[in-house]
Amino acid sequence: MDINATIIGQSIAFAVFVFFCLKFVWPPLINAMRERSEKIAQGLQAADQAEQDLELAKEKAADTLREAKQQAAALIEQANKRANQLVEEAKDQARAEGERLKAAAQAEVEQELNRAKEALRAQVSVLSIAGAEKILGTAVDQNAHNAMLEQLASEL
């Protein structure tokens, strides 16, 4: 073993190389690596976040859809109710109209009947006088028997 000044040269070279590595090689590399791992972590986090957001959005969409369905059902029900109501109303109206028509017709019939009765009454006195004249063979004084005739007519 021959120890000589080479050992000094090597020591100096070693110190210089370590210094160079410390200043110009290590920091850019380790920083790039750290930054990258941070970036990857952020990316993963963002992906998780996005997945969560998607889940939320899906839930929200389902909620909205359910609400819309409910609303539509309510509307249809309402419309049905309204339609029924309209039909009922129309029916009621028709019934009332019918009643009214019937009442009017009845009143007319009654009126006609009364008129006929009047006419008949008028005829009755004449006819009964004529009948009585035939039976009696004489004229009947209408005025004298008016009371009787009127009684007869009212009995009709």
Partner 1 sequence: MAADSSEYIKHHLTNLVYGQHPDGSWGFAHSAAEAAEMGFWKFHVDSLGWSVGLGLLFLLLFRMAAKRATTDVPKGFQNFVEILVDFVDTQVKENFHGRNAMIAPMGLTIFCWVFLMNLMDLIPVDWIPALASAAGIHYMKIVPSTDPNITLGMSFTVFFLIIFYSIKVKGIGGFAGELTLHPFSSNNIAVKILLIPVNLFLETVNLLAKPISLGLRLFGNMYAGEMIFILIALMFNAGVIMALFGGVLQLGWAIFHILVITLQAFLFMVLTIVYLSTAHEDH
Binding residues for partner 1 (CB under 8 A): 1-11, 13-15, 17-18, 20-22, 24-33, 35-36, 39
Helices (H) and strands (E) in the chain, counts: 3, 0
Joined together, the tokens standing for residue 9 give 């040269």
Q: How many CB atoms lie within 10 A of CB 148?
A: 13
Phi, psi of 120 (to 5 degrees): -60, -45
The least CB distance from residue 23 to partner 1, in Å, is 8
* C-alpha to C-alpha distance for 110 and 116, rounded to whole angstroms: 10
37/80 with CB nearer partner 1: 37
Amino acid found at 118: E
Joined together, the tokens standing for residue 62 give 């389902």
Q: With contact defined as beta carbons under 8 Å apart, do 142 and 133 qualify?
A: no
The least CB distance from residue 37 to partner 1, in Å, is 9
3/135 with CB nearer partner 1: 3
The least CB distance from residue 29 to partner 1, in Å, is 5
37/70 with CB nearer partner 1: 37
The least CB distance from residue 45 to partner 1, in Å, is 16
27/98 with CB nearer partner 1: 27
Q: Which residue has the tokens 């998607």?
A: 54
